[in-house]
Amino acid sequence: MKSLDLRLLRRVIRQGRIEWRKHALQRMAERNISRAAVLEVLVAGEPIEDYPTDKPFPSALFLGQIQGQPIHVVAALAQEAEYVYIITAYEPSLDVFEPDFKTRRKT
């Protein structure tokens, strides 16, 4: 499977070809994370995990800083249709991640 194409993902976002999954919108509302914050993480943040075998499209986990707070966003890219799907967004926990918020803690 192919990894998520970061350049294509960012171009598609700039074109506004984005679908906000219901789950993502619900979680974002619960966590007080705005759509603008999610888009900023995807455009300016760093991909930290790649999920090339995700179905139906490859996805990735992104890390960004919004007002000094770390935010993780998972997004998938339908490469042929050129559409981005926002899967979820959350503030990463130090219970799961190291202080860099990039590295998962060993269990």
pLDDT tens per residue across span 23-76: 999 999 999 999 999 999 999 999 999 999 999 999 999 999 999 999 999 999
Residue 2 in this model has a pLDDT that exceeds 80: no
Instruction: Give residue 98's pLDDT.
Output: 93
**Domain hosting residue 18, numbered range:** 6-90
Q: Does residue 97 fall inside a structural domain? A: no
Q: Does residue 10 fall inside a structural domain? A: yes
CB 2 within 8 A of CB 52: yes
Instruction: Give residue 79's pLDDT.
Output: 87
The pTM for the full model equals 0.93
DSSP letters spanning the chain: -PPP-HHHHHHHHHTT-EEE-HHHHHHHHHHT--HHHHHHHHHHSEEEEEETT-SSS-EEEEEEEETTEEEEEEEEEETTTTEEEEEEEEPPPTTTB-TTSSSBPP-
Q: Does residue 34 fall inside a structural domain? A: yes
- Please report, for the domain that includes residue 30, its CATH number: 3.30.2310.40
Instruction: Give residue 1's pLDDT.
Output: 54
Domain count within the chain: 1
Backbone angles phi, psi at 100, to 5 degrees: -80, -10
* 86: number of Cβ within 10 Å: 22
Residue 80 in this model has a pLDDT that exceeds 90: no
Q: Does residue 40 fall inside a structural domain? A: yes
Q: Does residue 107 fall inside a structural domain? A: no
Cα–Cα distance between 21 and 37 in angstroms, integer?
16
Q: Does residue 98 fall inside a structural domain? A: no
